[in-house]
Structure 1
Amino acid sequence: MKKILLLIACLSAASFLSVAQSAKAPANTPVKPADSSATKKPASKAKSYDQVITKDAKSKKGLFTTHQIGDKFYFEIPKKHLGKDMLLVSQIAKIPNGLGGGYVNAGTSSHEQLIVWEKFQEKILIKIKSYAAVAADSLPISLSVKANNYEPTLYMFDIETYSKDSSQVVIDITKFYNSDIPAMSGLDATLRETHKVKNLDASRSFIRSIKTFPLNIEVLQDFTYNASKPSATPYTETLSMQMNQSMILLPEKPMKPRLFDQRVGYFTQKQYDYSSEELKSDQKTYIQRWRLEPKDMAAYKRGELVEPIKPIVYYLDPATPVKLRKHMKKGVENWQKAFEVAGFKNAIICKDAPTAAEDPDFSPEDIRYSVIRYVASTTRNAIGPSVSDPRSGEIIESDIIWYHNHLRSYRNRFLLETGASNPNARTLDTREEDIGEMMEMVISHEVGHALGFPHNMGASSSYEVENYRKADFTNKEGISASIMDYARFNYIAQPGDQGVRYIRKMGPYDDYAVNWGYRVLPDAARPEDEVPTLDKWIEAKAGDPRFRFGNQGTTFDPSSQTEDVGSDPVRASTYAVKNLKYVAKNLADWTSKKTNDYEDLIELNDELLSTWSRYVGHVTTMVGGVYEQYAKPNQGISSYNPVPKASQQAAVNWLLANAFSNVDWLINKEVVTHHMAGYTDRIRSLQVSPLNRMLSLETFARLDNSGLTTLNNYKTIDLFQDLRGGIWSELASGKNIDQYRRNLQKAYIERLKALMTDQAPASTAGVPNGPARESYPVAQSDVRSIVRGELKALQASLALAKSKYADKEVRYHLDDCMERVNLILNPRK
């Protein structure tokens, strides 16, 4: 019976559908399937266009037509733009004082994401799209890629109406831009927690403006939050800021990407390509770069310099002090020479921002403009971020951030690092020409980041140490092979070295890297077709240290360090410390005795201690150090080579003589008597840091590995024996043990105790064997055996030494050290 009733129901339904279809269309006329993108009349429930977009609307045409009616805003979206890739960039426009601790400011980009607008039934969705995994649409696997990379929906809108010709959909975007959406906010979870942000106050938040242009839309939001700990005016419990939301239509045809090669430094964009016929997905890594295309390709092929179709243009923030603008412009346009090596002239230009009369729509937050932002902040830094197309690595826009107080840090370092040999640096009133050149080079460095270049920390080790004392060499080559290194000043030149250059400049690596990444290869149809030519360019420079890229991320390569210059850290730091002693002796004469105030002296003396610590750190890296050289198999060279034994022993001896003893010169009595409490502990901390770094599991792991490639290697036991002999040298001689040495000796015992007793495995970060590094098995290694032997040897030396000292403080120290060693070897139950 049930089957009969079911059959009747089905026949009735079929009959109903047949009647309905015949009523809608003549016989034999096929019924078209629903098509969300086809032109059609709006659904009956939708209002007419004139009912939504009334005569009171203030309308502007652009990428989307925008309408404002009272406090409501509408987008009129052409259907042709549905499904098109767009970039949504959220940028801080105005910010309260103190928010983010100095590195969050006007111009900071908080979010950057690729979006598409899609129609689903009578809704419009914003989907966040990813190109992390891709496959050719023609391949079946593309279905799986889409299924396993489903895109999140950022927001959903009701369709309010359609344009009169039905080619555009109209949505109300007021709530979207008035809402506190995490994916577009300038406040991340940390900032919200720090300032105890409760919620967005809708009554005090609003859309300030919406501007539409042919390829982009700019929305300025004014947001006020209830926050119990705002960064400024705490009594108000209010945090207000402005956000700019830039949405730009990406090119229909992405720029042809260029495959990354780790032998040349570039920021990158990664994809997993499932189109490969190999037995795995291909990870493809593309460099980030601007789209530079020759105006005259025929002339370009002939080797002539050609202007690009669209040059890279930077605008100066109107807030930039007038006297600094020429230096900023020069810093940007220093890169023109490098682009000429790649075949382009006038490829990068810097201009003043247009006035309101010249362009009333100009805004530093507008994604069409790259701007050097001048930020009123006490932060001493500058940064060069950029926005790029995730499909190809094409850089779309960048904002260089210059913080107002940054030049003070350069004045201080100029005095400390070059004052011994450079009379022009021995002042608090640095010459304008020197300050201007420093600023110019900082801007060049930050523009380099915005062009796609990361730090190249290997560039400053390209030149022999003695060359830094020669005027002809330094004036021609500078102090580093690249502006992208942290080599700021020539701290090696000695008093009496005449005419040397002290301030960094652009180098040969910069020309080389621009040519490698930006030169157009018109005959290469695919990125893979470019690789043979790109490889030849690299191999032609192989063996020349000026063209080597040194990764900033290494902690073990003494030829790839921050803030260093010269190919030999021991020799360079010897000169550097000698200079710093001269500066320390004269620092009061150059500061407080001139100003009758201790502020600058105290500030500079604190930085002097940090400078000394840097020089010590450069030598410390030699111990357990490994030279890293990126290479392909056909080059026939080793990627990792341990620092030779003799060089490591020389580094340890230098540290024993310059870091672990003879530090009295660091004590500035004028500072101690007028300001600095805890000075002794500061020295202790600066000495203990390199000691612990040498006696780390990371160092032991590298020393172990070095024995696999060479027989005459510096071993862990060599390090322990050298350190014990040096740090405890007084025990054999009976020489006085001052407070700094006593502190260091106790720190040595505490470090050995940690190696003997710590149960938790320590990370071996810095071991050059790939990212998947296991924890160093200290309990199963020779380390504890060596430590036990060294403690017993120290125990015997302490027992013999006690009778040599009459000083009660020293005797107590030795008794304490003996007891500490005994407790490590024979812990109490």
Structure 2
Amino acid sequence: MLKPYKALSLLLLTALIQTSCSTSRSSANTNQAVTATQGAEKPKPTSKNGIKNYADVITKEAVSDKGVFTVHKVADKYYYEIPDSLLQRDFLWITRFASLPSGLGNGYINAGSSVNEQMVVWQKFENKLLLKTKSYNSIAADSLPINLSVLANNYQPTIYAFDIAALSNDSSAYVIDVTKFFLSDIKTFSGLSADMRRNYKVTKLDDSRSFINSVKSFPLNIEVKQDFTYDATEPPSNATTGSISLLMNQSMVLLPKVPMQARINDYRVGYFNIRQIDYGSEALKADEKSYIRRWRLEPKDVEAYKRGELVEPIKPIVYYLDPATPDKLRPYIKAGVEQWQKAFETAGFKNAIIAKDPPSPEEDPDFSPEDVRYSVIRYVASTTRNAVGPSVSDPRSGEIIESDIIWYHNHLRSYRNRYLLETGAANPGARTLNTPMDDLGEMMLEVITHEVGHALGLPHNMKASSAYPTDSLRSGNFTQEYGIAATIMDYARYNYVAQPGDKNIRFIRQLGPYDHYAINWGYRYLPDAKSPEDEVPVLSAWIKEKTGNPIYQFGSGSGGYDPDSQTEGIGNDVVKASNYGLKNLKLVAPKLYGWTAAQTNDYDDLDELYGELLGVWSRYIGHVVTNIGGVHENRLKPDQKGYIYTPVTAKEEAASLDWLLKNAFSSPEWLHQSEISRNIHHANHVESVRNLQVRHLDNLLSSARMARLMENEVNKVNYNALDMVKQLQRGIWSEIYSGAQIDIYRRNLQKAYLDRMDYLLNKEESKPTRYNSTTVEISQSDIRSILRGELANLQKQLRAAQRNYSGDLSRYHIDDVLVRIDNILNPNKN
């Protein structure tokens, strides 16, 4: 059956032949016809099924931009001219925030943050073009009969249906009007989630204040910016306007016609990954498959590569610097990118990753950071303190197509502050607000290396910071060679373990041995493997070679139960490391005024740094809390010896709680520096300490932690939830056994202890809770039995202790808490 436009062409051709024959037979008749029509209005071309002539739609006034699709702007309308050859081709559609209001998403969203990624295809149906989603989550080989069922049971929705406005002059492309589409509040492309719409009470998109900012077409992608304003009763900022304005970026990227050969993910090595459900599996169920995300690197000379020679890739990974990047920072950023070259050499490639200055208009007039062919390190003028390394990957194979590293201008300030607080005791170069440029440059270099690592496919590996013995971090020779953690992908930013007098110490993180191992595992080219499954024996053998070596272990840090896999920690002994860190912090605190306000004659920096000092103290405490009810995770497969999960020993748990009672829950007199507290706030010190201590007390007395401690009973670990509560309660209320006065810090903490008891006994819902990957049914567990029994014991001890206190604050405090305990134990008494 002929397509409509081809049938129309054939009809016109037939008419032309008939007219030609008629003319040759009778020129007289023709002359009469011409004479009769002179001066009359020529008939206008009529549309067929709504399809107009190309020139009537794309007029002479059109401004056209050629790329993967040609984009036309005619007056206030935008048109896509879509080649017939690109129908049914796979595109990746990425929705991002280009600009957003302060506080959106509680501040956890930045400009450049991705909202949604989905694969789409363009399809023709009658006189319409359909934009449809396409999923690779469920697959089966085309040759298998079950593929018919996969397609039938995973029918993908149509996002939008466009009328075909015109055909190109050669009928090889379709013209559609996309104006209404990009001016509509389409949920799948929106920056406002359902939760945001509910929380901010968004009513509608205001058409009068919404418009298309720009549409740009490049050889492999189209970028659209939408300026949208919504009516909102409770916006996150600028509340008096009753509005939320967003600048959204819609990217549509053409994916390779032939996907790259995927590499099967292994949870023992850290890689971002894509997941698919394969219904063509021979297993008795659908087989879930996971493939790592990585760039396509193939050697120019395969034979030389096989011989073990370093070979350049056919297409290296290239990052361009943003033209807005300050000149003094460019060398550090380039070095941060190219530091990965050594790791790629481990994988057999030389010059695999390169950093370049942006080309001048004369060198490349078409260069644009928005062109998907260019990966760019963007330098953003923003007060946000962050850097991110997102990437765009092919959902069919995991191939990384493009990546933009985002560096926010104020980010180095955070690193300056942490450098001063965490290393200032042992590192004279850190004792200033004017950190030397070489040190700042080194920090920036390593941050860029970390973010590029994400863009290469590597997630955080929080376990790597526990690979080194804690005391080795006090060795100059060790830290200069191995750094302070086994990978740059951990949050191990500074060496806070090193003590005053330690020599030649490296204080700033660096690339480590795990990085070489992970890049080799993910990127080494295996020329003899014809399928992802063919690679598995080799890849598994590389992992088994490293079994038992902590340097090559991976742990995401999620779950909150593994003391070896924590953010911001270093060393293999969290108690020892936190002890060293706290000793340093106690040396820094009294010096902070002299290093800041005394030099600047201003209190702003002192105020900021003191607040961050409390945060550093809190991190050291949190690391030790994780030891209690902690479980070491060692990612293994059945052909490796050992257990995946091993509880922390009873001795370590008891020692950790003892450390907390001395260093977290005692009265922190060292924190009260009069020069600081009496110059930065009128009355906030006690409340700041209370808030921090209560946070860790509540964490210690979480239902999830207690559930893991109760599990110790079946794991034959001689320290359970009752042991922990007994030890904690005696430590929190130690004054009533000694008769000592109870100071303000301790009175606050003791009341907080009772509040937590009240919550767990009477207020937390009695249903299975899942917190930090531990599930517990509170009402049917021992949690309430333990707490009720120990609280009753405390009540007796407090009554006995009353006689030791007269009419002072300590006595009033004890009288008050006795009433509180009675109300907790008898909530329905009144």
TM-score between both structures, scaled by the size of structure 1: 0.90
- 1:107 equivalent to 2:112? Answer yes
1:708 corresponds in structure 2 to 714
- 1:669 equivalent to 2:674? Answer yes
- 1:594 equivalent to 2:605? Answer no
Q: Secondary structure at the match of 2:268?
A: coil
Query: Which amino acid is the alignment partner of residue 684 of structure 2?
Result: G
How far off is 1:197 after superposition?
Answer: 6.0
Contact kept in structure 2, 1:306 and 1:344, CA below 8 Å: yes
- 1:754 equivalent to 2:759? Answer yes
How far off is 1:570 after superposition?
Answer: 0.7
1:820 corresponds in structure 2 to 820
Query: Which amino acid is the alignment partner of residue 118 of structure 1?
Result: Q
1:801 corresponds in structure 2 to 801
Structure 2 residue corresponding to 1:727, chosen from 720, 732, 736: 732
Question: What percent of counterpart residues are identical?
Answer: 58
Q: Secondary structure at the match of 1:126?
A: strand
Distance, in Å, in 2 between the alignment partners of 1:262 and 1:547 is 13
Residues 368 and 222 (structure 1), Cα distance of their counterparts in 2 relative to 1, 3 Å cut = farther
1:25 corresponds in structure 2 to none
- Per-residue Cα deviation, 1:130-187 (whole angstroms, up to 9, x for no partner): 1111111222222221122111112211222323443322223333334443333445
How far off is 1:58 after superposition?
Answer: 4.4
Distance, in Å, in 2 between the alignment partners of 1:237 and 1:798 is 54
- 1:469 equivalent to 2:474? Answer yes
Alignment of 1:152-301 (within 5 A): 152-189=157-194, 200=205, 202=207, 206-207=211-212, 209-223=214-228, 242-301=247-306
- Per-residue Cα deviation, 1:518-540 (whole angstroms, up to 9, x for no partner): 11111111111111111111111
Query: Which amino acid is the alignment partner of residue 262 of structure 1?
Result: Y
Distance, in Å, in 1 between the alignment partners of 2:748 and 2:624 is 21
Query: Which amino acid is the alignment partner of residue 707 of structure 1?
Result: E
- 1:574 equivalent to 2:579? Answer yes
Distance, in Å, in 1 between the alignment partners of 2:371 and 2:225 is 10
Structure 1 residue corresponding to 2:342, chosen from 334, 337, 341: 337
1:556 corresponds in structure 2 to 561
Residues 414 and 142 (structure 1), Cα distance of their counterparts in 2 relative to 1, 3 Å cut = same
2:368 corresponds in structure 1 to 363
Structure 1 residue corresponding to 2:659, chosen from 630, 654, 658: 654
- Per-residue Cα deviation, 1:61-96 (whole angstroms, up to 9, x for no partner): 432334444443333322221111111223444556
Alignment of 1:595-674 (within 5 A): 595-674=600-679
Q: Secondary structure at the match of 1:634?
A: coil
Residues 801 and 504 (structure 1), Cα distance of their counterparts in 2 relative to 1, 3 Å cut = same
How far off is 1:662 after superposition?
Answer: 4.1
- 1:778 equivalent to 2:784? Answer no
Distance, in Å, in 2 between the alignment partners of 1:356 and 1:747 is 64
1:434 corresponds in structure 2 to 439
Structure 2 residue corresponding to 1:699, chosen from 705, 715, 719: 705
Structure 1 residue corresponding to 2:686, chosen from 677, 680, 683: 680
Distance, in Å, in 2 between the alignment partners of 1:60 and 1:239 is 31
2:351 corresponds in structure 1 to 346
Structure 2 residue corresponding to 1:689, chosen from 679, 683, 695: 695
Distance, in Å, in 2 between the alignment partners of 1:103 and 1:709 is 39
Query: Which amino acid is the alignment partner of residue 650 of structure 1?
Result: A
Unaligned runs of 5+ in 1: 1-32
Distance, in Å, in 2 between the alignment partners of 1:378 and 1:573 is 31
Distance, in Å, in 1 between the alignment partners of 2:233 and 2:281 is 54
Distance, in Å, in 2 between the alignment partners of 1:807 and 1:537 is 71
2:788 corresponds in structure 1 to 788
Q: Secondary structure at the match of 2:517?
A: helix
How far off is 1:204 after superposition?
Answer: 5.8
Contact kept in structure 2, 1:107 and 1:399, CA below 8 Å: no
Contact kept in structure 2, 1:208 and 1:222, CA below 8 Å: yes
Residues 819 and 195 (structure 1), Cα distance of their counterparts in 2 relative to 1, 3 Å cut = closer
Unaligned runs of 5+ in 2: 11-46
Q: Secondary structure at the match of 1:158?
A: strand
Distance, in Å, in 2 between the alignment partners of 1:250 and 1:419 is 50
Contact kept in structure 2, 1:465 and 1:572, CA below 8 Å: yes
Residues 310 and 101 (structure 1), Cα distance of their counterparts in 2 relative to 1, 3 Å cut = farther
Residues 71 and 735 (structure 1), Cα distance of their counterparts in 2 relative to 1, 3 Å cut = closer
How far off is 1:380 after superposition?
Answer: 1.3
Contact kept in structure 1, 2:768 and 2:777, CA below 8 Å: no
Residues 315 and 101 (structure 1), Cα distance of their counterparts in 2 relative to 1, 3 Å cut = farther
Distance, in Å, in 2 between the alignment partners of 1:742 and 1:236 is 45
How far off is 1:55 after superposition?
Answer: 4.5
Distance, in Å, in 2 between the alignment partners of 1:577 and 1:500 is 18
Distance, in Å, in 1 between the alignment partners of 2:430 and 2:764 is 51
1:503 corresponds in structure 2 to 508
Alignment of 1:50-65 (within 5 A): 50-65=55-70
Q: Secondary structure at the match of 1:458?
A: helix
Query: Which amino acid is the alignment partner of residue 815 of structure 1?
Result: D
Alignment of 1:464-543 (within 5 A): 464-543=469-548
Q: How many residues align?
A: 791
Greater mean deviation of Cα atoms: 804-813 or 95-104: 95-104
Greater mean deviation of Cα atoms: 96-105 or 670-679: 96-105
Contact kept in structure 2, 1:91 and 1:244, CA below 8 Å: yes
- Per-residue Cα deviation, 1:275-327 (whole angstroms, up to 9, x for no partner): 11322111111111111111111111111111111111112122222211111
Greater mean deviation of Cα atoms: 684-693 or 161-170: 161-170
Distance, in Å, in 2 between the alignment partners of 1:276 and 1:668 is 66
Distance, in Å, in 1 between the alignment partners of 2:600 and 2:373 is 47
Query: Which amino acid is the alignment partner of residue 785 of structure 2?
Result: S
CA RMSD of aligned residues (A): 2.6
Query: Which amino acid is the alignment partner of residue 790 of structure 1?
Result: E
TM-score between both structures, scaled by the size of structure 2: 0.90
Query: Which amino acid is the alignment partner of residue 732 of structure 2?
Result: I
